[in-house]
Structure 1
């Protein structure tokens, strides 16, 4: 495995920035540029690159979709939220048609925000492509077909040009898929959710979203620490702050940034990507949670190696 590309990082539903949010970013950028002059575009690019993330960028608004890039010819994708649309467009732009490709798609669970991008995934309409949808839910195929059925969608599932197969996986059992060993794990979430661990000869990635971790359930904590053990990257559902996760939003099926740090520390993981961002949080709020996560890791590190923390955003690419 070489890279991880985030095509959608929001939880629950896609969330676009408002006009007011964009206006505030422009005002902040102009204020920072006050009194300065720029000779050319390169000077402008350098200036913009030096602005805070919350001014020159955004965490984005697409729901969950993450690509794992390997050395092999097959494409590995976790979930098909609305981020699947730009993912599909990028594949068409790169490979064109006809140029048959194989896509392995791993579905964490069947809630709409993790499936809604599939009808907009352009490779599914191209003859010659092969799409294998992997998951642990008995209703996996029905859930995918159902959202492409009248009156929900104008294009019926039967109109897909690609060959589409469904693979019902067994939790806790390693599966060799696309040149990678993939192991699913049951997680606490309404209707059940499954995390996936991807292991190649040299690298390991864990995709663990839509999972709630109870602070008093030590057996579960230890089980997930083993699942995350020494991973090069853990993509973790950090939808809430610890206060939210343990109070008003307890039993909502999601976790917090603090628990993500604690699990990765216990697992001796190398890098944590905060993921599945709360749709009500704007860029400034998400960045504060990111900074709080870094501070929490520093004060609880002890004699353990540092844990690298990133907050995932649409378009982020991480080299493994």
Structure 2
């Protein structure tokens, strides 16, 4: 049986020779990613990473204080790291306030102010619905998703037209009618990384508390969107923390049955690497 792991949302996208690096969300998975990148940081005397935040719920930002590269600096081995953070504008607090707040004393021993002091470059950028911008040669489009508080999905397009779409934390209002913003975001994607936290029975409360309004999806809705959007590969993501490995594997099999053989369905696991 595949072991899927338990860290929260963090996906790395690397383009070309590795000089363009995007990290989608900063959940607890950011810590092992930092361990993986440590040698490269030392070799290159610094890393340049663009962080695209879907939203600032704890499970999507709580890895940042434990990202080891954050503490290597212009004074320690002349490491020149550059971090660029992109997040929404309509949160009750800004992305900057949320990132700073989780590191302010007494909840964490190293303050954001200290991180700013030792880091070569930190930038914070606002994101809004249908906004487009460039990260190196990659074109980025942001779309607002259906989730409690402001949440964004991202469409990443290479110069030659390859497309990766990230749409964690989104809830269908009707499994038979894909949300137009999500459908447009995922249209023709080579790789669609998307929320599929529940089964339909769990979502509707047949096995316990209903999960309507919690902001997460299930196979029937994912399959309908994947088919209508014409995606090539779907990666099911944001697994429920209460799901066993067997339950996640069952969700994948059910989704594969729903979409048929023309679309590949993968249940994300820690360390999964895909090339498009």
What's the C-alpha RMSD, in Å, of the aligned pairs?
1.7
Matched, 1:274 2:236: yes
| Counterpart pick for 1:113 among 59, 63, 86 | 59
2:271, 2:40 → 1: CA distance? 16
1:215: how far off?
0.4
Q: Give 1:63-78 correspondences, 5 Å limit.
A: 63-71=8-16, 73-78=19-24
Task: Name the SS of the counterpart of 1:90 in structure 2.
Answer: helix
What residue is the counterpart of 1:294 in the other structure? 256
What residue is the counterpart of 1:168 in the other structure? 126
Q: Deviation string for 1:33-80 (max 9, x for gaps)?
A: xxxxxxxxxxxxxxxxxxxxx1xx410010000001101513100000
Contact between 1:183 and 1:198, CA under 8 Å: does it hold in 2? yes
1:145, 1:224 → 2: CA distance? 30
1:313: how far off?
0.5
Contact between 2:143 and 2:181, CA under 8 Å: does it hold in 1? no
Q: Deviation string for 1:21-44 (max 9, x for gaps)?
A: xxxxxxxxxxxxxxxxxxxxxxxx
1:264: how far off?
0.9
What residue is the counterpart of 1:179 in the other structure? 137
1:97: how far off?
5.8
| Counterpart pick for 2:164 among 197, 205, 215 | 205
What residue is the counterpart of 1:193 in the other structure? 151
Q: Give 1:12-91 correspondences, 5 Å limit.
A: 54=1, 57-71=2-16, 73-91=19-37
What residue is the counterpart of 2:84 in the other structure? 132
**Which of 1 and 2 has greater Rg?**
1
1:256: how far off?
0.9
Structure number with greater CO (CA < 8 Å, separation at least 6) is 1
**Runs of 4+ deviating beyond 4 Å:** none
Contact between 2:148 and 2:215, CA under 8 Å: does it hold in 1? yes
2:218, 2:232 → 1: CA distance? 18
| Counterpart pick for 1:149 among 104, 116, 137 | 104
Task: Name the SS of the counterpart of 2:107 in structure 1.
Answer: coil
1:126: how far off?
2.0
- Count residues in correspondence: 258
Instruction: Tell me the TM-score normalised to structure 1 length.
Output: 0.77
Contact between 2:175 and 2:220, CA under 8 Å: does it hold in 1? no
Task: Name the SS of the counterpart of 1:319 in structure 2.
Answer: coil
What residue is the counterpart of 1:96 in the other structure? 42
Contact between 1:74 and 1:101, CA under 8 Å: does it hold in 2? no
2:176, 2:84 → 1: CA distance? 35
Q: Deviation string for 1:144-197 (max 9, x for gaps)?
A: 000001121111112223222101123202111132111111111111211011
1:100: how far off?
2.0
Instruction: Tell me the TM-score normalised to structure 2 length.
Output: 0.89
What residue is the counterpart of 2:194 in the other structure? 236
1:312: how far off?
0.3
Q: Give 1:218-237 correspondences, 5 Å limit.
A: 218=177, 221-237=179-195
1:196, 1:59 → 2: CA distance? 24
More helix by share: 1
